[in-house]
Amino acid sequence: SSLTLDSSILIVGGGGTIGSSTALHLARKGYRNVRILDVYPIPSAQSAGNDINKIMGTSLRNPVDKRLSVGAEEMWSTDETFRPYYHRTGRLDCAGKPESIANLRDDLEKLQAAGLGHTVKWLDNEASIIEHVPQLEMSPIQGWKGLYFKDGGWLAAAKAIDSVGHELQRRGVQFTFGASGTFKSLILAEDGKVCLGVCTEDGTKWYADRVVLAAGAWSPALVDLKEQCVSKAWGYAHMQLTPEEASQYAGCPVVYNEDLGFFFEPNEHGVVKVCDEFPGFTRYKLHQPFGAPAPTMVSVPRSHARHPTDTYPDVSEVTISKAVSVFLPRFEDKDLFNRALCWCTDTADANLLITEHPEWQNFFLATGDSGHSFKLLPIIGKYVVELLEGTLKPDMREAWRWRPGSGDARKSRRAARAKDLADLPGWRHDPFN
Ligand code: FAD
Ligand code: FSA
């Protein structure tokens, strides 16, 4: 049956980034029968977006990225639900290794070719880098070049999803969290070709005209995605500054180095988040998602919300400390805390997977974030709604299509295949599964 404003629509993972955005765009368009299902209340405690900050800035990895970037920038800047959470500090991408400097030049050329050359500035030496980010120190950045985005910055991520949650509530979107919001299986029609709804952990059957799966890193563990998505974790740690130190770093641009990691200006409590950069960690185990004929090896996320004593592998302590010593040498001796892993799901080509399932009509996927999609929070739901309405433009349909067998999502477009957490000690501090 065709979609009307009264059609019932279920969003599995609606407490997270892509799911909440989808609910928002549906509600803003006047859909009256939208329900979010999630394990945790919005902003879901296990969403990759439940974090103090995320990087905002243009990146042009894939053909449709310009439209997404420009649209996201516009909404983060002007829409009242999002505007308060965009901190336009500027963003410095920088590198010291020759091959990484070549990547920076490549980024610059792509931006110029897309007509966005005016939004960035090439920084050809250490002095001009320090002119833009005076908090950096000269000696650890010898030989570095930089690309400075004056319009970039960071997003107060969990607060922004929370803000979406408030608007959803005002607009009458319905919410179910906990066991009756936790996806277990799809309900299919007898012929096996039409999706009729979702069955949740406590046995509740939710019937709906359309079901959207936006479960982030959990998506390939819930439904068989034929290896199109491989879920991986990345880590971070926090550091506490004194009020005086925090004032010296206030307004500091986000600094990102593809060989090292990145850091953000302190938040309102003087907390600085530091990340390392690497190809991610998988957690393969024998597992049978809905629709898989038998158990197979799937990288299954482990929720930090459910396992709050989990930290990250010992190797991450080394690489995060290295990032601190280069970016923030004066804080080298400070204690790190809140060490954690956060889960995303990569596709082989780093394009999203936003498409109707080829076998189960009325069941839609909105996932494959590939580790860079928080910045799309305000805009991505618009395109999921276009998909539901059948008006998604051909280039987006093509980029986000169902595409098993088209490449290796375990490597994706990263430097190497992800290592597995089973081989890396140090992160696990409870005996529970
Ligand atoms: P999520 O936001 O994780 O949402 C998935 C939802 O599904 C969750 O709410 C979860 O509770 C729910 N769910 C899971 N299982 C079930 C179930 N059984 N039933 C119902 N619901 C379920 N992006 C950027 O743009 N900039 C950055 O600087 C950046 N930094 C990052 C740093 C780290 C350390 C990490 C890990 C990621 C970073 N990202 C960044 C990536 C970004 O966070 C993700 O791409 C994005 O948040 C993914 O959104 P999502 O909606 O697909 O998944
Ligand atoms: O500008 C950005 O999109 C940063 S994404 C941050 C990050 O930690 C990646 O650096 C990492 O490789 C992974 O994709 C998770 O997100």
Q: What is the pLDDT of residues 390-424, one digit of tens each?
A: 999 999 999 999 999 999 999 999 999 999 999 99
Rounded Cα distance, 379 and 224, in Å: 27
- For residue 199, the one-letter residue type is C
Taking the CA of residue 371 as reference, the ligand 2 atom at the shortest distance is 14
Return the pLDDT at 61: 86
User: Is the CB of residue 344 below 6 angstroms from any atom belonging to ligand 2?
Assistant: yes
Smallest CA separation from ligand 2 atom 6, residue: 372
User: Could you say which ligand is closest to the alpha carbon of residue 49?
Assistant: 1
Taking the CA of residue 47 as reference, the ligand 1 atom at the shortest distance is 3
Q: What is the 261 CA–ligand 2 centroid distance (Å)?
A: 9
The proportion of the chain whose per-residue pLDDT surpasses 70, expressed as a percent, equals: 100
User: Is the CB of residue 39 below 6 angstroms from any atom belonging to ligand 1?
Assistant: yes
3-state DSSP of the chain:
CCCCCCCCEEEECCCCHHHHHHHHHHHHCCCCCEEEEECCCCCCCCCCCCCCCEEECCCCCCCCHHHHHHHHHHHHHHCCCCHHHEECCCEEEEECCHHHHHHHHHHHHHHHHCCCHHHEEEECCHHHHHHHCCCCCCHHHCCCEEEEECCCEEECHHHHHHHHHHHHHHCCCEEEEHHHHCEEEEEECCCCCEEEEEEECCCCEEECCEEEECCHHHHHHHECCCCCCEEEEEEEEEEECCHHHHHHHCCCCEEEECCCEEECCCCCCCEEEEEECCCCEECEEEECCECCCCCEEEECCCCCCCCCCCCCCHHHHHHHHHHHHHHCHHHCCCCEEEEEEEEEEECCCCCCEEEECCCCECEEEEECCCCCCHHHCCCHHHHHHHHHHCCCCHHHHHHCCCCCCCCCCCCCCCCCCCEEHHHCCCCCCCCCC
User: Could you say which ligand is closest to the alpha carbon of residue 261?
Assistant: 2
CA atoms within 13 A on the CB side of 37: 28
Does residue 19 surpass a pLDDT of 90?
Answer: yes
Does residue 318 surpass a pLDDT of 80?
Answer: yes
Taking the CA of residue 56 as reference, the ligand 2 atom at the shortest distance is 1
pLDDT digits (tens, 9 = 90+) for 26-79: 999 999 999 999 999 999 999 999 999 999 999 898 889 999 999 999 999 999
Return the pLDDT at 42: 98
Q: Which token pair is 154?
A: 């960071």
Rounded Cα distance, 38 and 182, in Å: 6
User: Could you say which ligand is closest to the alpha carbon of residue 214?
Assistant: 1
pLDDT digits (tens, 9 = 90+) for 229-281: 999 999 999 999 999 999 999 999 999 999 999 999 999 999 999 999 999 99
User: Could you say which ligand is closest to the alpha carbon of residue 259?
Assistant: 2
Does residue 1 surpass a pLDDT of 80?
Answer: no
Residues 6+ apart with CB under 8 A from 27: 34, 167, 168, 171, 172, 173
Q: For tokens 């005076």, name the residue.
A: 134
Mean pLDDT, rounded, of the chain:
97
Q: What is the 20 CA–ligand 1 centroid distance (Å)?
A: 11
Return the pLDDT at 92: 98
User: Is the CB of residue 55 below 6 angstroms from any atom belonging to ligand 2?
Assistant: yes
User: Is the CB of residue 220 below 6 angstroms from any atom belonging to ligand 1?
Assistant: no
Q: What is the 252 CA–ligand 1 centroid distance (Å)?
A: 26
Smallest CA separation from ligand 2 atom 7, residue: 371
Residue 108 CA to chain centroid, in angstroms? 23
Rounded Cα distance, 418 and 312, in Å: 15
The proportion of the chain whose per-residue pLDDT surpasses 90, expressed as a percent, equals: 98
Mean pLDDT of 76-98: 98
Does residue 356 surpass a pLDDT of 90?
Answer: yes
According to DSSP, the β-strands at 183-188 and 145-149 are unpaired
Rounded Cα distance, 51 and 158, in Å: 5
Query: Among 238, 231, 205, which residue's Cα sits nearest to residue 289?
Result: 231
Q: What is the 49 CA–ligand 1 centroid distance (Å)?
A: 5
Q: Which of 62, 100, 234 to mutate to test the pocket of ligand 2 (most atoms within 8 A of CB)?
A: 234
Q: What is the 396 CA–ligand 1 centroid distance (Å)?
A: 21
Taking the CA of residue 414 as reference, the ligand 2 atom at the shortest distance is 12
Rounded Cα distance, 280 and 292, in Å: 25
User: Is the CB of residue 275 below 6 angstroms from any atom belonging to ligand 1?
Assistant: yes
Rounded Cα distance, 221 and 287, in Å: 7
Does residue 226 surpass a pLDDT of 80?
Answer: yes
pLDDT digits (tens, 9 = 90+) for 336-354: 999 999 999 999 999 999 9
User: Is the CB of residue 277 below 6 angstroms from any atom belonging to ligand 2?
Assistant: yes
Q: For tokens 């902003």, name the residue.
A: 43
Q: Would you place residue 114 in the very low, low, confident or very high pLDDT band (cuts 50, 70, 90)? A: very high
Q: What is the 29 CA–ligand 1 centroid distance (Å)?
A: 24
Q: Do 319 and 345 meet the contact criterion of CB atoms below 8 Å apart?
A: no
Rounded Cα distance, 375 and 377, in Å: 6
Taking the CA of residue 236 as reference, the ligand 2 atom at the shortest distance is 8
Rounded Cα distance, 36 and 213, in Å: 10
User: Is the CB of residue 372 below 6 angstroms from any atom belonging to ligand 2?
Assistant: yes
Q: Do 295 and 245 meet the contact criterion of CB atoms below 8 Å apart?
A: no
Q: Which of 61, 276, 306, 369 to mutate to test the pocket of ligand 1 (most atoms within 8 A of CB)?
A: 369
Residue 110 CA to chain centroid, in angstroms? 23
Rounded Cα distance, 208 and 198, in Å: 8
Return the pLDDT at 249: 98
User: Could you say which ligand is closest to the alpha carbon of residue 352?
Assistant: 1
Return the pLDDT at 433: 85
User: Is the CB of residue 121 below 6 angstroms from any atom belonging to ligand 2?
Assistant: no
Q: What is the 205 CA–ligand 2 centroid distance (Å)?
A: 36
Q: Would you place residue 306 in the very low, low, confident or very high pLDDT band (cuts 50, 70, 90)? A: very high
User: Is the CB of residue 200 below 6 angstroms from any atom belonging to ligand 1?
Assistant: no
Query: Among 171, 321, 180, 314, which residue's Cα sits nearest to residue 260?
Result: 321
Smallest CA separation from ligand 2 atom 9, residue: 371
Q: Do 414 and 281 meet the contact criterion of CB atoms below 8 Å apart?
A: no
